[in-house]
Structure 1
Amino acid sequence: MGRKKGAPKIVPEQDKRICASICVCQLIAVLSCVSIVYLSVAVYMPAHRTLESGYDTKPAVCQTRELHWASTLGDWSSCGEWCLSKSSPPYPQIHVVVRRNGTTIRLENCTRPANVACPPADEESLRKYNCNQDGECETITGVFSCRRGHCANLSEIYSCLTVADGNFIDADRDNLKLNGFFECQKSRCRQIKKTPFPCDRYCPRITTFGINVLLFHGDIVLTAECSKGYTVIEDLENTDPATQKPTEEHLMWTPEKGVLLAACLKAEKSAAHVNNVHNITALDCINGTVVPEEKLPAHYMNFTYLWSLFEESQLNKVDPELPPPQNDLVIYNTSRLLINLDGCVNTLRDECRDFVKNNGKDGTNHTGQSRFPCFYHKGDPLYSLARFDIERTRIELILFSTIPVVLAIVSCTSLIICTKIVKVGDDAKMRIKCRGCCGGNEPPTNNKDVESSQLQQEDKHEDSADPTDDE
């Protein structure tokens, strides 16, 4: 039978402050121990490898030379989304050129500065034609890239020089045979067997009238007409303002030498002065050269001609006062790029996708190559790192070591103290032994008093439940 109504509880209600304190200490102790186990793989071991790696803490410059997507992991990958498990293919493999910083230049009295952009063509954004549906490809015209009847019109973004020498295919009828590259004229398509074939992006025209400076930075060309160019020499080795040498400038170029061409990391114009005259500052400039003004086409030229002119000018004797050629600055001609020493991240925020997007431009189809600071090992050219910060690694190691260890020690010590000062009386109620402590200031009870009070309560309950007459 169940307990009688109004009968005292077998286990009395406990002090909530004591129970809550013990539960919180147990929870903190468990979480701290689990975090120490996890952090040993995620923080402690990588930090130890970083501190003992021997990489130079002073950054160099990396320039992407090749991006390859591997179907199998092999022995390396530039970036993986999760360090504790194997990433899924394809695996990005970025090869870079490691070199010293280029030259900072300053151009004076520049008029009509303009930035002309020619970004990389995005084939993923092209409209897809499904020739497997009736009437979808009745009027397609241009150069198409097809796979099992699904075709994209490359002519929307490229001007291609093709020689169609394959079989003729009716795109509206023999749609399943559309695999490869085809030149189509109103659904009559002929296969292009010789691949790859040259294609140029459709880009804005570059004005050549009244300019004598052309600076490449990324996929942008800055054009202007300037009066003088200076090389800026800064004391980058010394970071102490008190002993740092003042910045020096040396005359590098004048319009009499010809049209200045150079590839820079960044080029910016200053605020306009009188008569809309600007100064232009360009950072990390390399491959500086000059070409005769008569080599520029009248009024306009396209990007293809500009790139060929720039590459041809590199073969000539280089003026030592201009930004140096890249070969003179190279530390390692080829190196494998890793996002960090482990080649992976644990944030699960698609960092690898953004990393490859920003650092994986290899100059295909005359696009700008990615340039970014990187870190190298003076005795080993095999790997270069995009992220390497000794001071931050030390701070993270100290924080992630101190906080969980201190919490674990404090919580375990508190539990040990609880085993000494918290006692359970004969009435099954927990009390703190020391008088005046939090949650335990009730005096200890006498066992005999407890038993007599329980008997009195039971007698009163029986009298109230079963009354009798005194007749």
Structure 2
Amino acid sequence: MPKQKPIPPEDLIIPPQDNRICGTICMCQMTAVLSSVALVYLTVAVYMPTLRAFQSGISEVPAMCTTTRHFKNDNCEWGTCGEWCLSKSSGACEQIYVNLRRNGSELTFENCTNSANKTCYGIDQENAKSSRCIADECKNLTGTFNCTLGQCINITDAFECVFMNTELPLKCSGRRGKITCIDLDGLQSCVRGTCEKIRIPYNCDRRCVDIPTRNKNVILLSGDKVFLSQCQRALATADDDDKKEIWTEDQENILIASCYIIENTTQGVIASDCINGSLLSKDSLTDLANFTYLNYLSVVNTDLLDPNRIIAPPEIDLLIKNESKLHINMEGCVNTLKDECRDFFREYGKDGSDHNARARFPCFYAESEPEKVVAHFDLEGTYRHFLIASILPSVLFVASCFILVFCQKTVEVGDDAKMRFKGCSGVDLIIAPGEKSVSANNLGDGGGGDSVMAL
């Protein structure tokens, strides 16, 4: 096929246009459309939630929550956390219930020596090896297992369970074993694939029996961790930040309490949100103690640290609401699409059903609605996000619209189909009638242009 001869620009039906003007108009049109769409989306995602946050009456001073129940519901009226707010609807979801209470005391322990930290690990539900009965993996189970709808986790190495009664055995081995045990649920005692469900009451002690309590007069519990030390005295921080002495080693007893955070600083050991403060006689503990027994002593001991029940009081004295509904935020959903809800349930969904420590964390609530609490609440951050989400798309929308209107008023298309700003196009020079007229566009050719037309 013969090569076509290039057509000169002046002979084109539509000559080349000014790329800068055309590109500016296209860019402003795209910016105006995207910013208007962003304003509509942000109305639901940012503006309305911000308004509800400021009208909610939720205090920015956190209280404390302890997870009591975590389960999946097939038909939900509310959910603790959803991954996408715009698609949030009724249906299956996960729900967390918590006990809401006021904050405990802040205690400082001075001149502590011979300190020890002990972590009593339970079962990591996320990483623990599980056996699925439907896959015929339960036919050789031996030991104590925590089962959920036919999926069993071995807890023999972490817990020692004492029980009296069991239900009728189910044989998970054999030809129909996987069908027989497909709904295996609860705590099971298994021997070579034959499992018996353990009936309530039972007691499962964590196999953490080597906690060194010898020559220790302070024992602080924090979740699955235990801090022990020999301290000289304990101070309580009052509302005016003054510290009051509440205990000394001269009392010849042992101080035990449950605290949220324990930090070893230059000022001493500082423990925040301490509750269930009790005093134990020195002969109540031997050289080694059991983790479960220490938790039991911190709850049932009647010899309180403060007889007035003000400093490290019993948890029941601080209780605001039982079984409050926990939400990750005001909306109960997130738009990050980073599996934030999965991480949230892993951290806050520990309800003790796996015999590990329950989740304990700061939370926020409104005094007029204590049955609803939120885990994440930050009015200052919410206001900052509102400003960014409102100013940025609004400025882009107004600026792009202004430039488009400016182009509409100032840009024209000439007879040669080129875009020009008004006032920048060539102006014909008018000579006498009957003479030749030279276009101003051709004057730059040194007067040699032949663009002549008769008037």
Tell me the TM-score normalized by structure 2: 0.82
Secondary structure of residue in 1 paired with 2:42 = helix
| One-letter code aligned to 1:159 | E
1:171 and 1:178 in contact (8 A); partners too: no
Secondary structure of residue in 2 paired with 1:280 = strand
Q: Deviations over 1:291-329 (max 9, x none)?
A: 111111x21111122122222204869533742222333
Secondary structure of residue in 2 paired with 1:310 = helix
1:104 and 1:281 in contact (8 A); partners too: yes
1:50 and 1:390 in contact (8 A); partners too: yes
Q: Which deviates the most, 85-94 or 300-309?
A: 85-94
1:182 and 1:189 in contact (8 A); partners too: no
Secondary structure of residue in 2 paired with 1:198 = strand
In structure 2, what is the equivalent of residue 218 of structure 1? Answer: 223
1:60 and 1:98 in contact (8 A); partners too: no
Alignment of 1:305 with 2:293, yes or no, is: yes
Q: Deviations over 1:67-94 (max 9, x none)?
A: 3323234221121111100369752322
Alignment of 1:41 with 2:13, yes or no, is: no
1:129/1:389 Cα in 2 relative to 1: closer, same or farther (>3 Å)? closer
Counterpart Cα distance in 2 of 1:302 and 1:65: 24
| One-letter code aligned to 2:345 | V
The correspondence of residues 28-427 of structure 1 with structure 2, limited to 5 A, is 28-57=31-60, 59-86=61-88, 90-129=92-131, 140-144=141-145, 152-162=153-163, 163-164=165-166, 166-167=168-169, 169=171, 171=173, 174-176=176-178, 177-179=180-182, 180=184, 183-185=189-191, 187=192, 189-192=194-197, 194=199, 197-203=202-208, 205-235=210-240, 247-255=241-249, 256=251, 258-270=253-265, 279-296=268-285, 298-314=286-302, 319-320=307-308, 322-364=311-353, 367-427=356-416
2:67 and 2:360 in contact (8 A); partners too: no
1:131 and 1:172 in contact (8 A); partners too: no
Secondary structure of residue in 2 paired with 1:44 = helix
Q: CA deviation at 1:443?
A: 2.6
1:314/1:346 Cα in 2 relative to 1: closer, same or farther (>3 Å)? farther
| One-letter code aligned to 1:214 | I
Secondary structure of residue in 1 paired with 2:168 = coil
Q: CA deviation at 1:263?
A: 0.9
Counterpart Cα distance in 2 of 1:269 and 1:353: 32
Counterpart Cα distance in 2 of 1:168 and 1:339: 40
1:302/1:64 Cα in 2 relative to 1: closer, same or farther (>3 Å)? same
2:115 and 2:228 in contact (8 A); partners too: yes
1:434/1:100 Cα in 2 relative to 1: closer, same or farther (>3 Å)? farther
Secondary structure of residue in 2 paired with 1:41 = helix
1:262 and 1:289 in contact (8 A); partners too: yes
Q: Deviations over 1:429-452 (max 9, x none)?
A: 1111133xxxxxx535689978xx
Q: CA deviation at 1:158?
A: 2.5
Counterpart Cα distance in 2 of 1:395 and 1:449: 63
Identity across the alignment (%): 39
Q: CA deviation at 1:362?
A: 3.1
1:308/1:430 Cα in 2 relative to 1: closer, same or farther (>3 Å)? same
1:152/1:77 Cα in 2 relative to 1: closer, same or farther (>3 Å)? closer
Secondary structure of residue in 2 paired with 1:161 = strand
Q: Which deviates the most, 94-103 or 112-121?
A: 94-103
Secondary structure of residue in 1 paired with 2:111 = strand
Which stretches in structure 2 are left out of the alignment for 5+ residues?
A: 431-436, 443-448, 451-455
Secondary structure of residue in 1 paired with 2:229 = strand
Q: CA deviation at 1:249?
A: 1.7
2:306 and 2:312 in contact (8 A); partners too: no
1:81 and 1:87 in contact (8 A); partners too: no
1:61 and 1:373 in contact (8 A); partners too: yes
Alpha carbon RMSD of aligned pairs, Å?
Answer: 3.5
| One-letter code aligned to 2:40 | V
| One-letter code aligned to 2:296 | S
1:93 and 1:337 in contact (8 A); partners too: yes
Q: CA deviation at 1:39?
A: 0.9
Counterpart Cα distance in 2 of 1:299 and 1:131: 43
Aligned mate of 1:22, from 20, 25, 28: 25
1:164/1:422 Cα in 2 relative to 1: closer, same or farther (>3 Å)? same
2:112 and 2:269 in contact (8 A); partners too: yes
2:143 and 2:189 in contact (8 A); partners too: yes
1:229 and 1:253 in contact (8 A); partners too: yes
Q: CA deviation at 1:377?
A: 1.1
1:60 and 1:99 in contact (8 A); partners too: no
Secondary structure of residue in 1 paired with 2:361 = strand
2:68 and 2:323 in contact (8 A); partners too: no
Q: CA deviation at 1:144?
A: 4.1
Which stretches in structure 1 are left out of the alignment for 5+ residues?
A: 236-246, 272-277, 436-441, 458-471
Q: CA deviation at 1:346?
A: 0.7
1:124/1:265 Cα in 2 relative to 1: closer, same or farther (>3 Å)? closer
Secondary structure of residue in 2 paired with 1:63 = strand
1:153/1:324 Cα in 2 relative to 1: closer, same or farther (>3 Å)? closer
Q: CA deviation at 1:421?
A: 1.0
1:67 and 1:362 in contact (8 A); partners too: yes
Counterpart Cα distance in 1 of 2:29 and 2:227: 64
- Aligned residue pairs: how many? 427
| One-letter code aligned to 1:355 | F
1:406/1:128 Cα in 2 relative to 1: closer, same or farther (>3 Å)? closer
